[in-house]
Structure 1
Amino acid sequence: MVLIEGGTFTMGDIYDNTNPDAKPVHQVTLSDFKIGKYEVTYRQYDAFARRTARKLPEADSLQQGNRPVVNIDWQDARAFCNYYGWRLPTEQEWEYAARSGGKKMRFAGTNNIDSLNIYARTQNNSAPFAFKVGTKKPNSAGLYDMSGNVFEWIGNYYQFYPKNGKEPTWDKLENKGVRIIRGGSFEEGKYIASTYWRVGVLADAKANDVGFRCVDPLNK
Protein backbone atom coordinates (compact mmCIF):
# COMPACT_ATOMS: atom_id res chain seq x y z
CA MET A 1 0.00 0.00 0.00
CA VAL A 2 1.13 3.54 -0.83
CA LEU A 3 -0.03 6.55 1.21
CA ILE A 4 -1.81 9.18 -0.88
CA GLU A 5 -2.21 12.49 0.94
CA GLY A 6 -5.67 13.95 0.55
CA GLY A 7 -6.57 17.23 -1.11
CA THR A 8 -8.90 18.92 -3.57
CA PHE A 9 -8.67 18.37 -7.32
CA THR A 10 -10.68 18.88 -10.50
CA MET A 11 -12.01 15.52 -11.68
CA GLY A 12 -12.99 14.56 -15.21
CA ASP A 13 -11.88 15.39 -18.75
CA ILE A 14 -9.89 18.52 -17.95
CA TYR A 15 -7.89 18.21 -21.18
CA ASP A 16 -10.31 18.27 -24.11
CA ASN A 17 -13.64 18.48 -22.24
CA THR A 18 -15.12 16.26 -24.96
CA ASN A 19 -15.57 12.87 -23.28
CA PRO A 20 -19.29 12.78 -22.36
CA ASP A 21 -18.77 10.19 -19.62
CA ALA A 22 -16.19 12.42 -17.92
CA LYS A 23 -18.21 15.65 -17.92
CA PRO A 24 -18.82 18.03 -16.36
CA VAL A 25 -15.48 18.46 -14.64
CA HIS A 26 -16.01 19.08 -10.95
CA GLN A 27 -14.17 19.66 -7.69
CA VAL A 28 -13.58 16.74 -5.33
CA THR A 29 -12.01 16.78 -1.87
CA LEU A 30 -10.51 13.60 -0.43
CA SER A 31 -8.97 12.57 2.88
CA ASP A 32 -5.71 10.61 3.10
CA PHE A 33 -5.90 6.99 1.98
CA LYS A 34 -3.64 4.12 0.98
CA ILE A 35 -3.88 2.28 -2.34
CA GLY A 36 -2.19 -0.83 -3.68
CA LYS A 37 1.20 -0.15 -5.23
CA TYR A 38 0.46 -2.88 -7.79
CA GLU A 39 -2.58 -4.59 -9.24
CA VAL A 40 -3.52 -7.69 -7.22
CA THR A 41 -1.70 -10.71 -8.61
CA TYR A 42 -2.65 -14.32 -9.26
CA ARG A 43 -0.38 -15.39 -6.38
CA GLN A 44 -2.22 -13.12 -3.95
CA TYR A 45 -5.71 -13.89 -5.20
CA ASP A 46 -5.19 -17.66 -5.40
CA ALA A 47 -4.00 -17.72 -1.78
CA PHE A 48 -7.16 -15.85 -0.75
CA ALA A 49 -9.38 -18.15 -2.82
CA ARG A 50 -7.91 -21.27 -1.23
CA ARG A 51 -8.36 -19.85 2.28
CA THR A 52 -11.99 -19.00 1.60
CA ALA A 53 -12.89 -22.04 -0.52
CA ARG A 54 -13.60 -19.90 -3.57
CA LYS A 55 -13.18 -21.10 -7.12
CA LEU A 56 -9.81 -20.23 -8.63
CA PRO A 57 -10.01 -17.81 -11.57
CA GLU A 58 -9.64 -19.11 -15.08
CA ALA A 59 -6.08 -18.70 -16.32
CA ASP A 60 -4.21 -19.04 -19.59
CA SER A 61 -1.27 -21.35 -20.13
CA LEU A 62 1.31 -18.72 -19.18
CA GLN A 63 2.96 -18.57 -15.77
CA GLN A 64 0.62 -16.76 -13.39
CA GLY A 65 2.56 -15.71 -10.28
CA ASN A 66 2.98 -11.93 -10.27
CA ARG A 67 0.81 -11.24 -13.27
CA PRO A 68 -2.39 -9.32 -12.40
CA VAL A 69 -5.28 -11.64 -11.67
CA VAL A 70 -8.03 -11.43 -14.30
CA ASN A 71 -11.26 -13.29 -15.10
CA ILE A 72 -12.72 -12.25 -11.76
CA ASP A 73 -15.95 -10.29 -11.42
CA TRP A 74 -16.73 -7.27 -9.25
CA GLN A 75 -17.97 -9.42 -6.37
CA ASP A 76 -14.76 -11.46 -6.39
CA ALA A 77 -12.64 -8.31 -6.34
CA ARG A 78 -14.66 -6.75 -3.54
CA ALA A 79 -14.51 -9.97 -1.50
CA PHE A 80 -10.71 -10.06 -1.74
CA CYS A 81 -10.35 -6.46 -0.55
CA ASN A 82 -12.89 -6.89 2.25
CA TYR A 83 -11.14 -10.04 3.49
CA TYR A 84 -8.08 -7.98 4.36
CA GLY A 85 -10.06 -5.11 5.84
CA TRP A 86 -9.83 -2.97 2.71
CA ARG A 87 -12.23 -2.10 -0.10
CA LEU A 88 -12.25 -1.29 -3.79
CA PRO A 89 -11.34 2.32 -4.63
CA THR A 90 -13.95 4.92 -5.41
CA GLU A 91 -13.65 6.61 -8.79
CA GLN A 92 -12.46 9.78 -7.07
CA GLU A 93 -9.72 7.94 -5.19
CA TRP A 94 -8.65 6.02 -8.25
CA GLU A 95 -8.38 9.09 -10.50
CA TYR A 96 -6.70 11.18 -7.81
CA ALA A 97 -4.09 8.45 -7.24
CA ALA A 98 -3.57 7.84 -10.97
CA ARG A 99 -2.89 11.56 -11.32
CA SER A 100 -0.33 11.44 -8.48
CA GLY A 101 -2.45 13.41 -6.04
CA GLY A 102 -4.72 15.17 -8.51
CA LYS A 103 -2.05 16.68 -10.75
CA LYS A 104 -3.03 17.55 -14.30
CA MET A 105 -1.96 14.22 -15.80
CA ARG A 106 -3.57 12.72 -18.90
CA PHE A 107 -1.96 9.35 -18.22
CA ALA A 108 -0.60 7.85 -15.01
CA GLY A 109 2.94 9.19 -15.16
CA THR A 110 2.95 11.47 -18.18
CA ASN A 111 1.02 14.00 -20.25
CA ASN A 112 2.95 13.07 -23.38
CA ILE A 113 1.31 10.29 -25.39
CA ASP A 114 4.65 9.62 -27.08
CA SER A 115 6.11 8.75 -23.65
CA LEU A 116 3.26 6.44 -22.65
CA ASN A 117 5.21 3.31 -23.64
CA ILE A 118 7.48 3.94 -20.65
CA TYR A 119 4.55 3.82 -18.23
CA ALA A 120 1.85 1.60 -19.70
CA ARG A 121 1.14 -1.57 -21.65
CA THR A 122 -1.52 -0.93 -24.26
CA GLN A 123 -2.59 -2.43 -27.55
CA ASN A 124 0.12 -0.34 -29.20
CA ASN A 125 3.09 -1.93 -27.39
CA SER A 126 1.95 -5.18 -25.77
CA ALA A 127 1.49 -8.84 -26.56
CA PRO A 128 -2.15 -10.02 -26.18
CA PHE A 129 -1.92 -10.86 -22.47
CA ALA A 130 -1.22 -9.16 -19.14
CA PHE A 131 2.41 -8.88 -18.02
CA LYS A 132 3.87 -9.08 -14.54
CA VAL A 133 2.98 -6.09 -12.42
CA GLY A 134 5.55 -3.35 -11.98
CA THR A 135 7.48 -3.88 -15.21
CA LYS A 136 6.80 -0.35 -16.47
CA LYS A 137 7.73 2.95 -14.81
CA PRO A 138 5.46 4.12 -11.94
CA ASN A 139 3.76 7.48 -11.73
CA SER A 140 5.25 10.05 -9.35
CA ALA A 141 3.12 8.69 -6.49
CA GLY A 142 4.94 5.35 -6.84
CA LEU A 143 1.99 3.43 -8.31
CA TYR A 144 2.49 0.95 -11.14
CA ASP A 145 0.16 0.12 -14.06
CA MET A 146 -2.55 2.65 -13.21
CA SER A 147 -2.60 3.19 -16.96
CA GLY A 148 -2.59 0.02 -19.04
CA ASN A 149 -1.83 -3.66 -18.37
CA VAL A 150 -5.37 -4.48 -17.12
CA PHE A 151 -8.50 -2.47 -16.37
CA GLU A 152 -9.33 -2.12 -12.67
CA TRP A 153 -12.67 -2.56 -10.92
CA ILE A 154 -14.06 0.46 -9.05
CA GLY A 155 -16.21 0.23 -5.89
CA ASN A 156 -18.84 2.96 -5.43
CA TYR A 157 -19.22 5.35 -8.35
CA TYR A 158 -21.37 8.10 -9.79
CA GLN A 159 -23.65 6.97 -12.58
CA PHE A 160 -23.31 10.48 -13.98
CA TYR A 161 -21.05 13.25 -12.76
CA PRO A 162 -22.87 15.99 -10.84
CA LYS A 163 -23.65 19.24 -12.60
CA ASN A 164 -21.74 22.25 -11.34
CA GLY A 165 -23.09 23.38 -8.00
CA LYS A 166 -25.06 20.15 -7.48
CA GLU A 167 -24.43 17.38 -5.01
CA PRO A 168 -23.61 13.95 -6.48
CA THR A 169 -26.28 11.27 -6.58
CA TRP A 170 -25.06 7.86 -5.50
CA ASP A 171 -26.61 4.78 -7.02
CA LYS A 172 -27.57 1.90 -4.77
CA LEU A 173 -25.26 -0.74 -6.15
CA GLU A 174 -27.54 -3.61 -5.13
CA ASN A 175 -30.10 -2.24 -7.59
CA LYS A 176 -27.67 -1.64 -10.45
CA GLY A 177 -26.01 -4.25 -12.62
CA VAL A 178 -23.42 -1.93 -14.18
CA ARG A 179 -20.05 -1.14 -12.60
CA ILE A 180 -17.09 0.98 -13.71
CA ILE A 181 -13.59 -0.10 -14.74
CA ARG A 182 -10.67 2.28 -15.14
CA GLY A 183 -7.18 2.54 -16.57
CA GLY A 184 -7.23 0.82 -19.95
CA SER A 185 -5.51 -2.46 -20.76
CA PHE A 186 -3.22 -4.35 -23.09
CA GLU A 187 -6.20 -4.84 -25.41
CA GLU A 188 -7.10 -1.14 -25.72
CA GLY A 189 -5.57 1.84 -27.47
CA LYS A 190 -3.59 4.58 -25.79
CA TYR A 191 -6.41 7.03 -25.15
CA ILE A 192 -8.44 4.49 -23.15
CA ALA A 193 -5.51 4.55 -20.69
CA SER A 194 -6.32 8.20 -19.89
CA THR A 195 -6.79 8.91 -16.20
CA TYR A 196 -10.33 10.22 -16.74
CA TRP A 197 -11.63 7.47 -19.08
CA ARG A 198 -14.59 5.50 -17.72
CA VAL A 199 -15.94 2.19 -19.02
CA GLY A 200 -19.20 0.62 -17.82
CA VAL A 201 -19.48 -3.18 -17.59
CA LEU A 202 -21.81 -5.65 -15.90
CA ALA A 203 -20.89 -6.53 -12.33
CA ASP A 204 -20.78 -10.25 -13.13
CA ALA A 205 -18.62 -9.81 -16.23
CA LYS A 206 -15.29 -11.62 -16.34
CA ALA A 207 -12.60 -10.72 -18.89
CA ASN A 208 -8.97 -11.48 -19.52
CA ASP A 209 -8.04 -7.80 -19.22
CA VAL A 210 -9.92 -6.75 -16.06
CA GLY A 211 -8.32 -6.92 -12.61
CA PHE A 212 -8.21 -4.66 -9.55
CA ARG A 213 -6.31 -3.12 -6.68
CA CYS A 214 -7.48 -2.29 -3.15
CA VAL A 215 -7.71 0.81 -0.96
CA ASP A 216 -7.20 1.23 2.78
CA PRO A 217 -9.41 4.25 3.63
CA LEU A 218 -7.58 4.88 6.96
CA ASN A 219 -10.84 6.01 8.60
CA LYS A 220 -12.39 2.71 9.64
Structure 2
Amino acid sequence: MKNQTTNSCCAASRSHTTVTEKLKSNSNQKIISSLQQNELGKMVYISGGKFLMGTTEKESFPEDGEGPIRNIKVNPFYFDTHAVTNEAFKQFIDDTGYLTEAEQYGWSFVFFQQVSPETAKKVKQSVSQTHWWWVVEGASWRNPEGPDSDLGGRMDHPVIHVSWNDANAYCKWAGKRLPTEAEWEFAARGGLVQKTYPWGDELTPVGEHQCNIWQGSFPKKNTMEDGYLGTAPAISFPPNTFGLYNVSGNVWEWCSDWFASNIHKRGGKENPKGADNGTSKVMRGGSYLCHHSYCNRYRVAARSANTPDSSTGNIGFRCVKDA
Protein backbone atom coordinates (compact mmCIF):
# COMPACT_ATOMS: atom_id res chain seq x y z
CA MET A 1 0.00 0.00 0.00
CA LYS A 2 1.15 3.52 -0.74
CA ASN A 3 1.35 5.44 2.54
CA GLN A 4 -0.15 8.88 2.97
CA THR A 5 -0.09 11.33 5.86
CA THR A 6 -2.82 12.90 7.95
CA ASN A 7 -3.14 15.56 10.61
CA SER A 8 -5.77 13.80 12.67
CA CYS A 9 -5.92 10.49 14.48
CA CYS A 10 -9.70 10.61 14.60
CA ALA A 11 -10.70 10.64 10.94
CA ALA A 12 -8.69 10.65 7.74
CA SER A 13 -8.67 13.69 5.46
CA ARG A 14 -8.79 13.97 1.67
CA SER A 15 -6.30 16.83 1.84
CA HIS A 16 -3.57 14.29 2.53
CA THR A 17 -4.20 12.00 -0.41
CA THR A 18 -2.79 12.20 -3.90
CA VAL A 19 -6.22 12.24 -5.53
CA THR A 20 -6.65 15.57 -7.28
CA GLU A 21 -9.57 15.16 -9.64
CA LYS A 22 -12.14 17.93 -9.49
CA LEU A 23 -15.69 17.18 -8.49
CA LYS A 24 -18.71 17.83 -10.61
CA SER A 25 -20.98 20.59 -9.38
CA ASN A 26 -24.28 19.67 -7.79
CA SER A 27 -25.66 23.08 -8.75
CA ASN A 28 -27.80 21.58 -11.51
CA GLN A 29 -29.36 19.05 -9.18
CA LYS A 30 -32.64 19.46 -7.36
CA ILE A 31 -31.73 20.83 -3.94
CA ILE A 32 -34.98 22.00 -2.35
CA SER A 33 -36.20 23.07 1.05
CA SER A 34 -38.74 20.80 2.72
CA LEU A 35 -40.27 23.44 4.96
CA GLN A 36 -43.53 22.56 3.23
CA GLN A 37 -42.92 18.85 3.84
CA ASN A 38 -43.15 16.78 6.95
CA GLU A 39 -40.14 17.07 9.24
CA LEU A 40 -37.64 14.27 8.66
CA GLY A 41 -36.89 12.83 12.03
CA LYS A 42 -38.04 13.89 15.47
CA MET A 43 -36.62 17.08 16.95
CA VAL A 44 -36.63 18.38 20.51
CA TYR A 45 -36.93 21.96 21.66
CA ILE A 46 -33.82 23.23 23.42
CA SER A 47 -34.66 26.30 25.48
CA GLY A 48 -31.18 27.79 25.27
CA GLY A 49 -29.56 29.88 27.98
CA LYS A 50 -26.12 30.20 29.53
CA PHE A 51 -23.71 27.34 30.14
CA LEU A 52 -20.05 26.68 30.88
CA MET A 53 -18.48 25.65 27.58
CA GLY A 54 -15.14 23.88 27.29
CA THR A 55 -13.01 22.11 29.86
CA THR A 56 -9.63 22.16 31.56
CA GLU A 57 -9.80 18.64 33.02
CA LYS A 58 -6.54 16.72 33.03
CA GLU A 59 -7.67 14.39 30.23
CA SER A 60 -8.44 17.29 27.89
CA PHE A 61 -6.38 18.30 24.85
CA PRO A 62 -5.44 21.99 25.30
CA GLU A 63 -3.90 22.00 21.81
CA ASP A 64 -7.38 21.28 20.41
CA GLY A 65 -8.75 24.43 22.02
CA GLU A 66 -10.97 22.65 24.54
CA GLY A 67 -10.27 25.36 27.10
CA PRO A 68 -10.47 27.68 28.80
CA ILE A 69 -13.90 27.25 30.37
CA ARG A 70 -16.11 30.19 29.40
CA ASN A 71 -19.67 31.33 30.03
CA ILE A 72 -21.61 31.15 26.76
CA LYS A 73 -25.22 31.98 25.90
CA VAL A 74 -27.21 30.36 23.08
CA ASN A 75 -30.69 31.14 21.83
CA PRO A 76 -33.46 28.52 21.78
CA PHE A 77 -33.37 25.99 18.92
CA TYR A 78 -34.68 22.60 17.82
CA PHE A 79 -32.22 19.70 17.68
CA ASP A 80 -32.51 16.28 16.04
CA THR A 81 -32.82 13.61 18.69
CA HIS A 82 -30.41 11.41 16.77
CA ALA A 83 -28.01 11.47 13.84
CA VAL A 84 -29.46 11.46 10.33
CA THR A 85 -30.06 7.84 9.37
CA ASN A 86 -29.47 5.98 6.14
CA GLU A 87 -33.22 5.87 5.65
CA ALA A 88 -33.60 9.64 5.94
CA PHE A 89 -30.57 10.32 3.77
CA LYS A 90 -31.95 7.98 1.11
CA GLN A 91 -35.12 10.10 1.01
CA PHE A 92 -32.95 13.12 0.29
CA ILE A 93 -31.05 11.29 -2.46
CA ASP A 94 -34.22 9.89 -4.03
CA ASP A 95 -35.86 13.33 -4.01
CA THR A 96 -32.93 15.33 -5.35
CA GLY A 97 -30.60 13.01 -7.25
CA TYR A 98 -27.74 14.44 -5.20
CA LEU A 99 -24.36 12.75 -5.66
CA THR A 100 -22.17 12.70 -2.55
CA GLU A 101 -18.53 13.68 -2.73
CA ALA A 102 -17.42 10.13 -1.93
CA GLU A 103 -19.38 8.96 -4.97
CA GLN A 104 -17.88 11.71 -7.13
CA TYR A 105 -14.33 11.02 -5.99
CA GLY A 106 -14.97 7.29 -6.37
CA TRP A 107 -13.57 6.35 -2.96
CA SER A 108 -13.71 6.98 0.77
CA PHE A 109 -11.81 6.02 3.92
CA VAL A 110 -12.79 2.73 5.60
CA PHE A 111 -11.45 1.20 8.82
CA PHE A 112 -9.32 -1.78 7.74
CA GLN A 113 -11.06 -4.42 9.87
CA GLN A 114 -14.36 -3.71 8.11
CA VAL A 115 -13.08 -4.44 4.63
CA SER A 116 -13.80 -7.86 3.14
CA PRO A 117 -10.85 -10.07 2.09
CA GLU A 118 -11.88 -9.68 -1.56
CA THR A 119 -11.96 -5.86 -1.40
CA ALA A 120 -8.76 -5.80 0.67
CA LYS A 121 -6.87 -7.34 -2.24
CA LYS A 122 -7.65 -4.24 -4.31
CA VAL A 123 -6.68 -1.63 -1.70
CA LYS A 124 -3.55 0.27 -2.68
CA GLN A 125 -3.44 3.19 -0.26
CA SER A 126 -3.55 3.72 3.49
CA VAL A 127 -2.74 6.64 5.75
CA SER A 128 0.80 6.44 7.12
CA GLN A 129 0.29 7.87 10.63
CA THR A 130 -3.09 6.18 11.03
CA HIS A 131 -2.57 3.02 9.00
CA TRP A 132 -5.96 1.61 9.95
CA TRP A 133 -7.58 4.00 7.45
CA TRP A 134 -7.69 2.46 3.98
CA VAL A 135 -8.63 4.21 0.75
CA VAL A 136 -11.38 1.95 -0.59
CA GLU A 137 -12.57 2.38 -4.15
CA GLY A 138 -16.35 2.35 -4.37
CA ALA A 139 -16.95 3.07 -0.68
CA SER A 140 -19.79 5.53 -0.11
CA TRP A 141 -22.90 5.96 2.00
CA ARG A 142 -24.58 3.26 -0.14
CA ASN A 143 -21.66 0.84 0.14
CA PRO A 144 -20.03 1.63 3.49
CA GLU A 145 -17.26 -0.98 3.33
CA GLY A 146 -16.79 -1.00 -0.43
CA PRO A 147 -18.67 -2.25 -3.51
CA ASP A 148 -19.38 -5.67 -2.00
CA SER A 149 -21.24 -4.16 0.97
CA ASP A 150 -24.67 -2.57 1.29
CA LEU A 151 -27.10 -1.07 3.82
CA GLY A 152 -28.89 -4.30 4.59
CA GLY A 153 -30.04 -4.19 8.22
CA ARG A 154 -28.60 -0.69 8.68
CA MET A 155 -31.29 1.70 7.49
CA ASP A 156 -31.73 2.88 11.09
CA HIS A 157 -27.98 3.46 11.52
CA PRO A 158 -26.39 6.89 11.06
CA VAL A 159 -25.45 7.67 7.47
CA ILE A 160 -21.67 7.70 7.06
CA HIS A 161 -19.22 8.65 4.30
CA VAL A 162 -20.85 12.08 4.14
CA SER A 163 -18.68 15.16 3.83
CA TRP A 164 -19.50 18.51 5.45
CA ASN A 165 -20.65 19.69 2.03
CA ASP A 166 -22.98 16.69 1.74
CA ALA A 167 -24.39 17.28 5.22
CA ASN A 168 -24.95 20.95 4.47
CA ALA A 169 -26.81 20.09 1.27
CA TYR A 170 -29.08 17.70 3.17
CA CYS A 171 -29.82 20.36 5.78
CA LYS A 172 -30.83 22.89 3.11
CA TRP A 173 -33.18 20.35 1.54
CA ALA A 174 -34.70 19.51 4.94
CA GLY A 175 -35.23 23.15 5.87
CA LYS A 176 -32.70 22.85 8.67
CA ARG A 177 -29.01 23.63 9.21
CA LEU A 178 -25.91 22.23 10.89
CA PRO A 179 -25.51 23.20 14.56
CA THR A 180 -22.95 25.68 15.72
CA GLU A 181 -20.35 24.15 17.98
CA ALA A 182 -21.80 26.05 20.94
CA GLU A 183 -25.31 24.74 20.22
CA TRP A 184 -23.98 21.21 19.89
CA GLU A 185 -22.16 21.30 23.24
CA PHE A 186 -25.08 22.99 25.02
CA ALA A 187 -27.42 20.26 23.80
CA ALA A 188 -24.99 17.40 24.40
CA ARG A 189 -24.44 18.43 28.01
CA GLY A 190 -28.16 18.06 28.63
CA GLY A 191 -28.20 20.67 31.38
CA LEU A 192 -25.39 19.05 33.37
CA VAL A 193 -22.62 21.41 34.48
CA GLN A 194 -19.03 20.57 33.54
CA LYS A 195 -19.52 16.82 33.45
CA THR A 196 -17.15 14.70 31.37
CA TYR A 197 -19.89 12.83 29.51
CA PRO A 198 -23.53 13.59 28.66
CA TRP A 199 -24.60 11.38 31.58
CA GLY A 200 -21.98 12.32 34.22
CA ASP A 201 -18.34 11.71 35.06
CA GLU A 202 -18.15 7.89 35.01
CA LEU A 203 -17.71 6.22 31.63
CA THR A 204 -19.61 3.07 32.62
CA PRO A 205 -21.77 3.86 35.65
CA VAL A 206 -22.82 0.70 37.51
CA GLY A 207 -20.89 -1.21 34.85
CA GLU A 208 -23.32 -0.21 32.09
CA HIS A 209 -22.07 1.06 28.72
CA GLN A 210 -23.59 4.39 27.74
CA CYS A 211 -22.10 4.83 24.27
CA ASN A 212 -20.57 3.05 21.30
CA ILE A 213 -16.78 3.35 21.49
CA TRP A 214 -13.81 0.97 21.22
CA GLN A 215 -13.06 -1.56 23.94
CA GLY A 216 -9.90 -3.63 23.99
CA SER A 217 -6.59 -2.81 22.32
CA PHE A 218 -6.84 -0.27 19.52
CA PRO A 219 -6.60 -0.88 16.59
CA LYS A 220 -6.03 -4.62 16.81
CA LYS A 221 -8.82 -6.01 18.99
CA ASN A 222 -12.28 -4.66 19.77
CA THR A 223 -13.88 -6.81 22.44
CA MET A 224 -17.24 -5.23 21.61
CA GLU A 225 -18.35 -5.12 25.23
CA ASP A 226 -20.82 -2.40 24.21
CA GLY A 227 -22.22 -4.71 21.54
CA TYR A 228 -20.85 -3.08 18.39
CA LEU A 229 -17.82 -3.25 16.11
CA GLY A 230 -19.01 -0.49 13.75
CA THR A 231 -21.96 1.86 13.93
CA ALA A 232 -24.93 1.22 16.21
CA PRO A 233 -28.50 2.21 15.35
CA ALA A 234 -28.99 5.97 15.68
CA ILE A 235 -31.31 5.35 18.62
CA SER A 236 -29.14 3.28 20.94
CA PHE A 237 -28.13 3.52 24.58
CA PRO A 238 -29.94 5.82 27.04
CA PRO A 239 -30.50 9.41 25.83
CA ASN A 240 -29.25 12.41 27.79
CA THR A 241 -31.66 14.50 29.86
CA PHE A 242 -32.66 16.49 26.75
CA GLY A 243 -33.65 13.26 24.99
CA LEU A 244 -30.66 13.16 22.63
CA TYR A 245 -29.16 9.83 21.57
CA ASN A 246 -25.49 9.05 20.95
CA VAL A 247 -23.96 12.49 21.39
CA SER A 248 -20.94 10.55 22.61
CA GLY A 249 -19.50 7.86 20.37
CA ASN A 250 -21.05 6.10 17.37
CA VAL A 251 -20.23 8.73 14.69
CA TRP A 252 -18.52 12.09 14.62
CA GLU A 253 -21.00 14.88 13.90
CA TRP A 254 -20.30 17.85 11.65
CA CYS A 255 -20.85 21.37 13.01
CA SER A 256 -21.21 24.56 10.99
CA ASP A 257 -18.10 26.27 12.43
CA TRP A 258 -14.67 26.58 10.91
CA PHE A 259 -12.14 25.03 13.29
CA ALA A 260 -9.71 27.20 15.27
CA SER A 261 -7.71 26.24 18.37
CA ASN A 262 -8.27 29.69 19.92
CA ILE A 263 -12.03 29.45 19.62
CA HIS A 264 -12.52 31.09 23.04
CA LYS A 265 -11.28 34.38 21.53
CA ARG A 266 -13.76 34.32 18.64
CA GLY A 267 -17.43 35.04 18.25
CA GLY A 268 -18.13 36.63 21.61
CA LYS A 269 -20.15 35.24 24.50
CA GLU A 270 -23.54 35.02 22.77
CA ASN A 271 -24.30 32.57 19.98
CA PRO A 272 -20.66 32.23 18.85
CA LYS A 273 -20.18 30.90 15.34
CA GLY A 274 -16.46 30.20 15.34
CA ALA A 275 -13.77 31.46 13.00
CA ASP A 276 -14.62 33.52 9.93
CA ASN A 277 -12.73 31.15 7.68
CA GLY A 278 -10.40 28.18 7.75
CA THR A 279 -9.46 24.90 6.12
CA SER A 280 -11.37 22.43 8.32
CA LYS A 281 -14.82 22.20 9.87
CA VAL A 282 -15.50 21.25 13.49
CA MET A 283 -16.58 17.72 14.36
CA ARG A 284 -17.98 16.75 17.75
CA GLY A 285 -18.87 13.66 19.77
CA GLY A 286 -16.29 11.04 18.89
CA SER A 287 -17.07 7.73 17.20
CA TYR A 288 -17.07 3.96 17.54
CA LEU A 289 -13.32 4.04 16.87
CA CYS A 290 -12.49 6.29 19.83
CA HIS A 291 -10.44 4.74 22.62
CA HIS A 292 -8.88 6.21 25.73
CA SER A 293 -5.42 5.17 24.57
CA TYR A 294 -5.36 7.20 21.37
CA CYS A 295 -8.47 9.34 20.79
CA ASN A 296 -10.17 10.20 24.05
CA ARG A 297 -12.54 12.56 22.27
CA TYR A 298 -15.90 11.09 23.16
CA ARG A 299 -15.91 13.51 26.09
CA VAL A 300 -18.58 16.19 25.71
CA ALA A 301 -16.06 19.07 25.48
CA ALA A 302 -13.71 17.34 23.04
CA ARG A 303 -13.22 18.70 19.53
CA SER A 304 -11.81 17.55 16.24
CA ALA A 305 -11.94 18.74 12.63
CA ASN A 306 -11.69 17.67 9.02
CA THR A 307 -11.73 19.29 5.60
CA PRO A 308 -15.24 19.96 4.19
CA ASP A 309 -14.80 17.44 1.37
CA SER A 310 -13.56 14.58 3.55
CA SER A 311 -15.61 11.46 4.23
CA THR A 312 -14.94 8.39 6.34
CA GLY A 313 -16.76 5.43 7.79
CA ASN A 314 -17.16 7.15 11.15
CA ILE A 315 -18.46 10.64 10.28
CA GLY A 316 -22.15 11.55 10.23
CA PHE A 317 -24.26 14.51 11.31
CA ARG A 318 -27.51 15.75 12.82
CA CYS A 319 -29.44 18.95 12.17
CA VAL A 320 -30.87 21.91 14.05
CA LYS A 321 -33.63 24.37 13.29
CA ASP A 322 -34.12 27.89 14.59
CA ALA A 323 -36.86 28.17 17.19
TM-score (norm 1): 0.88
2:5 is matched with none
How far off is 1:192 after superposition?
1.4
Distance 1:45 1:33, change over 3 A: same
How far off is 1:161 after superposition?
2.0
Give the stretch that moved more between structures: 122-131 or 30-39: 122-131
Where 1:192 maps in the other structure, the secondary structure is: coil
- In structure 1, give the amino acid aligned to 2:69: V
Alignment of 1:147-158 (within 5 A): 147-157=248-258
Of 190, 196, 201, 2:306 maps to: 201
1:152-177: CA deviation from partner (whole Å, max 9, x where unpaired): 0011255222249x77784334xx32
1:15 is matched with 57
1:136 is matched with 237
- In structure 2, give the amino acid aligned to 1:37: T
Q: CA RMSD of the aligned region, Å? A: 2.3
Q: Does 1:90 align with 2:186?
A: no
Where 1:39 maps in the other structure, the secondary structure is: coil
- Is the CA contact (8 Å cut-off) linking 2:203 and 2:209 kept in structure 1? no
Where 1:45 maps in the other structure, the secondary structure is: helix
Distance 1:180 1:126, change over 3 A: farther
Of 250, 267, 284, 1:182 maps to: 284
- Is the CA contact (8 Å cut-off) linking 2:56 and 2:68 kept in structure 1? no
Q: Does 1:65 align with 2:155?
A: yes
Where 2:50 maps in the other structure, the secondary structure is: strand
Query: Gapped runs of 5+ residues in structure 1?
Result: none
- In structure 1, give the amino acid aligned to 2:211: A
2:211 is matched with 120
Alignment partners' CA distance in 1, 2:157 and 2:264: 36
- In structure 2, give the amino acid aligned to 1:45: F
- Is the CA contact (8 Å cut-off) linking 1:96 and 1:102 kept in structure 2? no
- In structure 1, give the amino acid aligned to 2:322: P
Alignment of 1:100-115 (within 5 A): 100-101=190-191, 103-115=193-205
2:110 is matched with none
Distance 1:129 1:84, change over 3 A: same
How far off is 1:110 after superposition?
2.4
Between the aligned residues of both structures, percent identity stands at: 28
1:2 is matched with 44
Alignment partners' CA distance in 1, 2:254 and 2:170: 12
2:94 is matched with 50
1:39-64: CA deviation from partner (whole Å, max 9, x where unpaired): 10000001101111112624333522
Q: Does 1:32 align with 2:76?
A: yes
How far off is 1:28 after superposition?
0.6
Where 1:180 maps in the other structure, the secondary structure is: strand
TM-score (norm 2): 0.62
Distance 1:26 1:158, change over 3 A: farther
- Is the CA contact (8 Å cut-off) linking 2:252 and 2:283 kept in structure 1? yes
How far off is 1:102 after superposition?
5.4
Alignment partners' CA distance in 2, 1:169 and 1:76: 20
Distance 1:47 1:111, change over 3 A: same
Alignment partners' CA distance in 1, 2:69 and 2:251: 25
- Is the CA contact (8 Å cut-off) linking 1:120 and 1:145 kept in structure 2? yes
2:320 is matched with 215
Distance 1:109 1:170, change over 3 A: closer
Alignment partners' CA distance in 2, 1:66 and 1:40: 9
Distance 1:213 1:117, change over 3 A: farther
- Is the CA contact (8 Å cut-off) linking 1:40 and 1:213 kept in structure 2? yes
1:99 is matched with 189
